[in-house]
Amino acid sequence: MNLIYKNEKTLFGIMLALSLLIWAALVIGTVGMALAYLLLFFVTYCFAQSALVSYLKGTAVQITPAQFPDLHQRIEACCERLGLAQVPEAYLLQMGGAFNAFATRFLGNNFIVLYSDVVDALEDRPDAINFYIGHEIGHIKRNHLRWSALLAPAAVLPLLGAAYARAREYTCDRHGFHACDDLKSAQVGLAALAAGGKRWRQLSVSNYTAQAQQSGGFWMSFHELVGDYPWLVKRMAVVRGLAQGNEVAPPGRHGLAYLLALFVPRFGVGGAGSVLALMALIGVLAAVAIPAYGEYTAKARMAQAVVVGHEATAAVERYFYANGRGPETLEQAGYAMDDPGHAVQDITVDPGNGMVRVFPSDLNYRGKAIAFTPSVDENKRVVWRCASEDIPASVLPPECRN
């Protein structure tokens, strides 16, 4: 039996290629600033992840040969069966009735956490606990935790990020199935997730599996397409098929649900590491967006300042044609500044050569001027050249760039 879900490798390849392109664009687009943000958020991630691991070590019960030896033996046996050479640290955690388990990673060390209510509920079917153990080993074996930060840019993309997350769950369910001695134990493990610690014994797997046929409607299709987990009824159908030696094809989804899901980014990432990776991505995007927005507003205000400059040069030009010389002041030329947007702090004219200088009000360029230099062409017409030695050409209108 292939332990890797059919679509996982393909989706991983697409995610990796897109993520590398996005990271490269961010690093180049921010002139390396993205690396500083990544370092900052790596430190933040370390603190957050250390809080989780510290909580486990300070609250949960570590599973060892001396403490819960039966569970320790199961974990070792599952690791051996699934080909995981290094047995991860394992803990039993009381979560107030929640049924689940999870794997996490911190500074190169892997951890598995079993919820005590799952273990208690399956006391008379302990082989079903192997399903939970094997599922989390699947995450470790497939390096899902290790790759999450690198894949973060593509993970938020509509359809793709959620599809990869669901493919990982199917892969880990197959690992959980393979970890069980009894082919029906994986179904028992999922039944406990569905019906709880007591009612799972009365759950009809065939009837529950039949509910998967309802998942092809528009709304169920849409909410699965934007979610990280396949519907539990579909997971049950798959492991039931594996127990019978069959590969179950999931019911088709509604076509319009794909169209709507295409407009919904994936933000339902799981785990502290994924959340912090998303925060890092948002921070890096902000490093691109904030300077870009600042440059956009600077360009807009420079364009307004140049418009004010043109009005002043027009007044100087009229005075020159009427008097054969330049004005001593702009007021002498009959010019009164009209600047409703307050883009200009000051504007002057040089009586010696007629040069008009516009001083923008932008705080980043206070004291720096845009110069309008006049000259007379062969037809005795005044020609103006706009330029600045102090203000970057990138924020000036094209006409003022040399």
- Sketch out the chain's domains with CATH numbers: 8-269 (no CATH), 291-400 (3.30.700.10)
CA atoms of 340 and 381, how far apart (whole Å): 31
Q: Is the pLDDT confidence value at 37 over 90?
A: no
- Tokens at residue 299, please? 């360009």
Q: Is residue 89 within 8 Å of residue 109, measured between CB atoms?
A: yes
Alpha helices in 63-141 (DSSP H): 69-82, 116-121, 129-141
Average pLDDT on 111-124 reads 93
What's the whole-number average pLDDT of the chain?
A: 88
Task: Quick: pLDDT tens for 228-260.
Answer: 999 999 999 999 999 998 888 888 899 999 999
- Tokens at residue 374, please? 């006049």
CA atoms of 181 and 335, how far apart (whole Å): 93
> Which residues contact residue 150 at a Cβ distance below 8 angstroms, ignoring those fewer than 6 apart?
16, 19, 20, 23
Instruction: Determine if the pTM surpasses 0.75.
Output: no
Q: Is residue 154 within 8 Å of residue 160, measured between CB atoms?
A: yes
**312 or 295, greater pLDDT:** 312
Q: Label residue 283 by pLDDT band (50, 70, 90).
A: low
Task: Quick: pLDDT tens for 316-351.
Answer: 999 988 888 889 999 999 999 888 888 899 999 998
**74 or 363, greater pLDDT:** 74
Q: Label residue 272 by pLDDT band (50, 70, 90).
A: very low
**147 or 268, greater pLDDT:** 147
CA atoms of 333 and 89, how far apart (whole Å): 84
pLDDT the model gives residue 237: 94
> Which residues contact residue 7 at a Cβ distance below 8 angstroms, ignoring those fewer than 6 apart?
163, 167
Q: Is residue 128 within 8 Å of residue 189, measured between CB atoms?
A: yes
**Residue from 59, 117, 108 nearest 88 by CA:** 108
The number of beta carbons lying within 10 Å of the beta carbon of residue 303 is 15
Cα distances (Å, whole numbers) of residue 220 to 55, 211, 345: 36, 12, 60
Q: Label residue 306 by pLDDT band (50, 70, 90).
A: very high
Q: Is the pLDDT confidence value at 42 over 80?
A: no
The number of beta carbons lying within 10 Å of the beta carbon of residue 14 is 15
**Residue from 137, 231, 160 nearest 7 by CA:** 160
CA atoms of 133 and 92, how far apart (whole Å): 12
CA atoms of 175 and 96, how far apart (whole Å): 27
Average pLDDT on 359-375 reads 91
Q: Label residue 288 by pLDDT band (50, 70, 90).
A: low
Task: Quick: pLDDT tens for 173-221.
Answer: 999 999 999 999 999 999 999 998 899 999 999 999 999 988 889 999 9
CA atoms of 30 and 281, how far apart (whole Å): 13
Cα distances (Å, whole numbers) of residue 292 to 113, 225, 300: 44, 33, 12
Q: Quick one: CA torsion of 325, 331, 333, 339, rounded to 10 degrees? A: 130
CA atoms of 279 and 273, how far apart (whole Å): 10
Q: Is the pLDDT confidence value at 271 over 50?
A: no
Average pLDDT on 75-93 reads 95
CA atoms of 274 and 269, how far apart (whole Å): 6
Average pLDDT on 159-169 reads 95
